[in-house]
Each structure stands twice: as C-alpha cells, then as structure tokens.
Structure 1
Amino acid sequence: MRVRMAVLLVLAMLAACTREPGPDPAAAPVAKPEPVQPAQPAQPAGGADAVQQPALRVTTLDGNTFDLAGQRGKWVIVNFWATWCAPCLKEMPELSALDAMREHIVVVGLAYEETTTDELAAFMREHPVAYPIALVDVYDPPKDFAAPRGLPMTYLIAPDGRVAKQYLGPVTARMIEEDIARAGGPKPV
C-alpha cells in the first residue's frame, strides 16, 4: 500500500511542472515542489482580473512579430512553456500538428524561463515545431495574461479575440478541438 501511495505521489508531481523565477537556485534553499494536476477539462477563463480581449505582441525567435490582434477570425492557442518542463515538451508535437494541419487554428509558444534567445534557438533546433516561439521575460510577462502558476499554461483565444478557455497542465489536440467545437467552432476531424 505504501509503495502504491508513493508511486501515485510521484506521478502527481510529474504531471505538470512548476517553477518560480527567482535568484540563483544554487544560493536559494531547496523547496519541495507542490504537485500540479494535469489539465482539467477546460474551464471558462475569468475572474476579476481577467482581460476579455488580451493584447499580445511579441518578437519571435525568427525575428518576426506575432500580434494576437492580427489573428482575428482564427482560434489561437497561447502556450506558456519551458525547456525544463517535461509535460510541456510532451504536448509540443500535438500543438505543432494543430498549427500545421488546421487552417482555423494558430499556435504561439511563449518560453517562460530565464535563458537567452541563443540558448532557446539551439533548443528549438533539437525540438522543432511548426509554430512561432517567443522568449518572454519571467519578471515582466505579457501584461494581459496572468503569470503562470505552473507550466504548461495554455489559453484558447476565440476568433473574436476573447479568452475562451484556460488550461493549467498539459493539453492534447483532442481536448482543444473538442473545446473549440463546444464553443461553436469546427468539429474535430
């Protein structure tokens, strides 16, 4: 019984990554990470601080500008992730396939970690995706999006620019396509 409980605890801790920006980890005391559950079925985004039509304008690794306002008419997946987050890396191929295979879906990845653009570009050469990636400052994240409580953190933006859903933890292409269909978008193929 104890072994089973220990295995369940380890699996829960590995389900999603959490990491807070801060001072040099070698100088800080090691804190026990809080387990984060896998993404729950999509919940409506909201709350007192929610921005109904968030703005997002970032420079991507390829030097282009991704502007959320320029994506009106499409469903947009805004995915906060990090190179050290195993669940983030696991969901990237599915997000890449959605971006490449669905004309009504656009994905943008926001690398939420302390690294350099050169290091991130090298990482992306080893883990390529079809969608644009931007490095965001963990101390100054995009103003209209809450700082992630854990990673991955994903927002589903409707064609009118409103936040339709928010997910904490890994997502699948099926989850996203089903939520789009429930919100009146195209049904999954």
Structure 2
Amino acid sequence: MRVDHLSWLLLACLATAACKRDTAPVLPAPVDAPVAQSATPAAAPAHIDETTTAKAKEMPSLRVTTVDGNTFDLADQRGKWTVVNFWATWCGPCLQEMPELSALDAMREYIVVVGLAYEDTTVEEMRAFLEKHPVVYPIALLDVYDPPADFDTPRGLPMTVLVGPDGKVVKTITGPVTAHDLETAIAAAGGPKAG
C-alpha cells in the first residue's frame, strides 16, 4: 500500500513539473485542455462533415455583438473586402496597427475592418480602453475559450484574416499588418489597386 502511495506521489510530482515546463503559451488555454496532445491529428468525429468544415473555413460566418451594442455580421459585408483583426489590449504590435487599420476603414469605402478582442475583459473595461485608443471600426470581445468556429484559433497576436467580397478567405496574416500589406493583398486577389 505504501509503494502505491509513493508511486502516485511521484507521478503527481512529475505531472506538475511537466505542466510547469510547458506553461508558456502565447494565448490562454482552456483549464480542461489536455497537457499533452498527440502529434497525429485525431479523426473528425462521425457527426462532423470534413468537407463542410473546410467550406466553412473557406467562407466563414461571423456574427458578434460589438462593445457599442450593435451586431456585426460578416454576411452583411458581401461586396466589400473585410479585414477581421484578432488583437488584444496587452499586445504591443496590435496597438501599433490599430491607427492604420482605422484609417484604412475610414478612407476606403470598399474595405470594412472589424476588431475581435481576444482576451478576458469586460465590455466596460474595453470601452474605457477605446476612449484612450479610439478607432472608427467596430470592436467585439471574444471568449478566448470559445473563439469563432469558422476561423483558425490564433496562435499569436495580432492575426488578420482578409475576406473577399464573395465571402471567401483570401489571406491570413499572423503578426503585424499595415494598410499597404492589405491593399497589396486585395490588388493581388483582383480587387482595386492602392492609390
């Protein structure tokens, strides 16, 4: 009996050490997430159609309530180029790109920007933050444990997804992005040229 107790204690210590060694994620992970994952992706559950899932990521849906109480629906943006920007208030590069994204949204009537704040905060705290860092585009708070299903979970911030006028994903950019980068991507995908 004593050996079993010591074995259990040793396993608990090893598990704790492994957790401490591996707890430097870029973004918070769910509390009930497994410590180790298999290198081989698991097969999709029988009730999920992989073709449908692939099409959803190709033509994602997104409907969120913004911090000003309005609804942003990606489907309503058809005919325009939509910039979906995942960001956080604690992310320096995110803050640096916000004024440029705001100017892009204001200056180009064929471009719409939406900011998805990927952090655990309240609407009131976000409103206070936006008073100090105003933008013209809508901002919505995301649940970091339940991000939009049709978009890849950000592995780092900022992450920007460019959606074309047809509702299809044109490009995903991880890391800081400029208005020039986005306008170049739009022109390369057949949209208007910058300038």
Q: TM-score, normalised by structure 2?
A: 0.74
Q: Deviations over 1:149-187 (max 9, x none)?
A: 000000000000000000000000001001101111000
Partner Cα distance (2:91, 2:26) in 1:
9
Partner Cα distance (2:30, 2:84) in 1:
27
Q: Give how far 1:19 is off.
A: 2.8
1:183 maps to which residue? 189
Q: Is 2:63–2:71's contact at 8 Å kept on the other side of the alignment?
A: yes
Mapping of residues 81-100 of structure 1, within 5 Å = 81-100=87-106
Correspondence 1:67 to 2:70: no
Partner Cα distance (1:115, 1:62) in 2:
15
Unpaired stretches in structure 1, ≥5 consecutive residues: 1-17, 25-46
Go from structure 1 to structure 2 and tell me whether the alpha carbon gap of 1:122 and 1:178 turns closer, same or farther (over 3 Å shift): same
Letter of the structure 1 residue corresponding to residue 186 of structure 2:
I
Corresponding residue SS for 2:167: coil
Q: Give how far 1:20 is off.
A: 1.6
Q: Is 2:30–2:145's contact at 8 Å kept on the other side of the alignment?
A: no
Partner Cα distance (1:164, 1:71) in 2:
15
Unpaired stretches in structure 2, ≥5 consecutive residues: 1-24, 32-52
Q: Deviations over 1:79-132 (max 9, x none)?
A: 000000000000001100010000000000000001111111100110000100
Partner Cα distance (1:131, 1:148) in 2:
20
Equivalent residue pairs, number: 150
Correspondence 1:21 to 2:23: no
Q: Give how far 1:146 is off.
A: 1.3
1:154 maps to which residue? 160
Q: Is 1:91–1:172's contact at 8 Å kept on the other side of the alignment?
A: yes
Partner Cα distance (1:49, 1:153) in 2:
20
Q: TM-score, normalised by structure 1?
A: 0.76
Correspondence 1:53 to 2:52: no
- Percentage of pairs with the same residue: 69
Compare relative contact order (CA 8 Å, sep 6+) and give the higher one, 1 or 2. 1
Larger Rg: 2
- Aligned match for 2:85, one of 79, 90, 95: 79
Partner Cα distance (1:82, 1:115) in 2:
10
Partner Cα distance (1:117, 1:187) in 2:
37
Q: Give how far 1:21 is off.
A: 1.4
Q: Give how far 1:50 is off.
A: 6.6
- Aligned match for 1:105, one of 98, 111, 116: 111
Q: Is 1:21–1:114's contact at 8 Å kept on the other side of the alignment?
A: no
Partner Cα distance (1:48, 1:117) in 2:
32
Partner Cα distance (2:173, 2:99) in 1:
17
Letter of the structure 1 residue corresponding to residue 86 of structure 2:
F
Go from structure 1 to structure 2 and tell me whether the alpha carbon gap of 1:179 and 1:80 turns closer, same or farther (over 3 Å shift): same
Partner Cα distance (2:98, 2:116) in 1:
12
Alpha-carbon RMSD: 1.8
